[in-house]
Structure 1
Amino acid sequence: MGYNGVGRRAEAAKGCHVPAKAATKTRETAKRPRDRKETILRVATEHFLRDGYHRTSMVDIAARIGITSTALYRHFRNKEELLTRSVLDGIDEMLAGLEHATTLEHIIGHLAGSALDGRGLPALWQREMRYLSRDTRRMIMNHLVKTAERTRSAITAERPDLPAADGELIAWCLLSLFESVSHHEVSLPRDQYEALLRSLAYRVAYTDLPRGSAFDDREIAIEPVIPTPSQTDGASRRDQLLAAAAHLFSRHGYASVGIDDIGAMVGITGPSVYYHFRSKSDLLAEIIDRTADATETYTARALAEARDPADALELLLRYYLSFAFTHRDLVWVAVTELTHLPADVVANHRTRQRVGIMRWTHAVLAARPELDESAARIVAQAVVMIVNDIVRLPWLLRRHHIRDELFTVGMAAQAPAARAAIEV
Structure 2
Amino acid sequence: MTTSDIRPPATSGSAHGRRRRALILTQAAGLFAERGFHAVGMGDIGAAAGVTGPAIYRHFVNKHAILVGLFDQVAEQLLERARAIVDPVSAGTAIPAFGDTFGAQPRRDNTATLPRLVAAHVDFALAERSLIKVYAQEAHNLPDPARSRLRRVRRLYIQEFVDVVADLRPDLSDAQVRLLVHAAFGLMNSVADHDPGIPWEDTAELLRSAALRTLLGTVR
The 1:368–1:260 alpha-carbon spacing in structure 2 relative to 1, beyond 3 Å, is same
State whether structure 2 residue 155 is matched by structure 1 residue 372: no
Instruction: Give the structure 2 partner of residue 346 of structure 1.
Output: 147
CA contact (8 A) 2:75 2:154 kept: yes
Higher relative contact order (CA 8 A, sep 6+): 2
| Unaligned residue ranges in structure 1 (runs of 5+) | 1-232, 418-422
The separation in 1 between residues aligned to 2:189 and 2:37, in whole angstroms, is 18
Of 198, 209, 212, the residue aligned with 1:398 is: 198
Q: Deviations over 1:400-421 (max 9, x none)?
A: 611101111111111265xxxx
Within 5 Å, give how 1:263-278 maps onto structure 2. Answer: 263-278=46-61
Task: Give TM-score scaled by structure 2 length.
Answer: 0.78
Give a deviation string over 1:155-193, Cα, whole Å, max 9, x none: xxxxxxxxxxxxxxxxxxxxxxxxxxxxxxxxxxxxxxx
The superposition leaves residues 59-95 of structure 1 with CA deviations (integer Å, 9 ceiling, x where unpaired) of: xxxxxxxxxxxxxxxxxxxxxxxxxxxxxxxxxxxxx
**What is the match of residue 291 of structure 1?**
74
In structure 2, distance between residues paired with 1:336 and 1:270: 28
For 1:386 and 1:252, locate their aligned partners in 2 and report how far apart those are by CA, in whole Å: 23
Distance 2:85 2:126 in 1: 17
What TM-score does the superposition give when structure 1 sets the normalisation length? 0.41
Q: For 2:86 and 2:28, locate their aligned partners in 1 and report how far apart those are by CA, in whole Å.
A: 32
Q: 2:115 aligns with which of 302, 308, 314?
A: 314
Tell me the SS of whatever aligns to 1:349: helix
Equivalent residue for 2:186, pick from 373, 385, 388: 385
Paired residues of 2:33 and 2:134 also in contact (CA < 8 A): yes
3-state DSSP of counterpart to 1:236:
helix
In structure 1, the residue matched to 2:130 is 329
1:256-300 deviation line (CA, Å, top 9, x unaligned): 110011011022325331122111111110111111110111111
> RMSD between aligned alpha carbons?
2.2
Contact conserved, 2:125 with 2:191, CA < 8 A, in 1?
no
Is the Cα contact below 8 Å between 1:309 and 1:367 reproduced in 2? yes
User: How far apart are the structure 2 equivalents of 1:410 and 1:323?
Assistant: 14
- Does structure 1 residue 243 correspond to structure 2 residue 26? yes
Question: How many residue pairs were aligned?
Answer: 186
1:252 is matched with 35
Q: Distance in 2 between matches of 1:250 and 1:392?
A: 10
